[in-house]
Amino acid sequence: MFASRLCASVAALGLLAALGCSSSQAAATNYSLAVESPKHAKVGEAARAVVRVVPKNPWKVNLKYPIRLKLQPPAGVEVAKAELTAGDAQVSEKEAKFEVGYTLKEAGSKTVSGELKFSVCVSDKCDIKKEAVSWTTSAR
């Protein structure tokens, strides 16, 4: 949680690149979605991105919904797993977090994209969501 707040605060100050982290965020009325990843990685070394959904009060992550993250890595990027499910995530009513391992196989800027399916609920209704996610990392 601290890292996402730090990246969000740093992004607001325009210092994101200087700290070497990148983040993309989607705004919604009942949740926030953020993707955090290193700005740079070394070719052939493992890296990690974090995809995180945090419901806004009084909403909660729907623990019964089959949360799923499907990734489409570009050529030159190898992901540890292209389709992740709730068993691959840390899921509670307060947060759903996927840690995605990947390796850049060649130099250059690469963008990994995907789709996250999840649901957030309040006492009388649930909202099923499908969100595009992506992150860009450069290898040297």
Residue 79 lies in a domain: yes
Is 59 domain-assigned? yes
Structural domain includes residue 11: no
CB 104 within 8 A of CB 135: no
Residue 10 is assigned to a structural domain of this protein = no
Residue among 36, 31, 40 nearest 139 (CA): 40
Per-residue pLDDT of the chain (140 residues; tens, 9 = 90+): 333 333 443 333 333 333 333 334 445 789 999 999 999 999 999 999 999 999 999 999 999 999 999 999 999 999 999 999 999 999 999 999 999 999 999 999 999 999 999 999 999 999 999 999 999 999 87
Give the CATH number of the domain where residue 37 resides.
2.60.40.680
Number of domains in the chain: 1
